[in-house]
Amino acid sequence: KAGVTQTPRYLIKTRGQQVTLSCSPISGHRSVSWYQQTPGQGLQFLFEYFSETQRNKGNFPGRFSGRQFSNSRSEMNVSTLELGDSALYLCASSSGLAGGSGANVLTFGAGSRLTVL
């Protein structure tokens, strides 16, 4: 069973540019959530998508957005990049359904390392 796949693994951008990161969940998983990891702030929840709808959102500015496609793949976009957006962006997938032994268990991808210069 393939795991959660994130692309690209590494990317370098300059301030003011925008970036799009992609996440393919485990087959059958309908929920995709995104987290930002930085040395200073640690791991912070960005948002969650389930069946193409944003179901939950963290405290990030509107420059951070996402979407989910009908095949459950998700993308997140950061516009007008700032130096502080340099981070490891982690995607996680889950069934998205309550109940069962796998309920609420997130499986993470290897992350996309974004460097903003």
Binding site for another protein (CB under 8 A): 31, 33, 35, 42-45, 48, 50, 55-56, 58, 88, 90, 92, 94-98, 103-111, 113
Which residues are CB-neighbours of 48 under 8 A, at least 6 positions away? 31, 32, 33, 34, 54, 55, 56, 57
Q: Using CA atoms, how far apart are residues 26 and 1, in angstroms rounded to an integer?
A: 8
The nearer residue to another protein, 18 or 41, going by C-beta atoms, is 41
Rounded to a whole number of angstroms, the minimum distance from the CB of residue 101 to another protein is 10
The nearer residue to another protein, 11 or 106, going by C-beta atoms, is 106
What SS3 class is residue 2?
Answer: coil
The nearer residue to another protein, 30 or 79, going by C-beta atoms, is 30
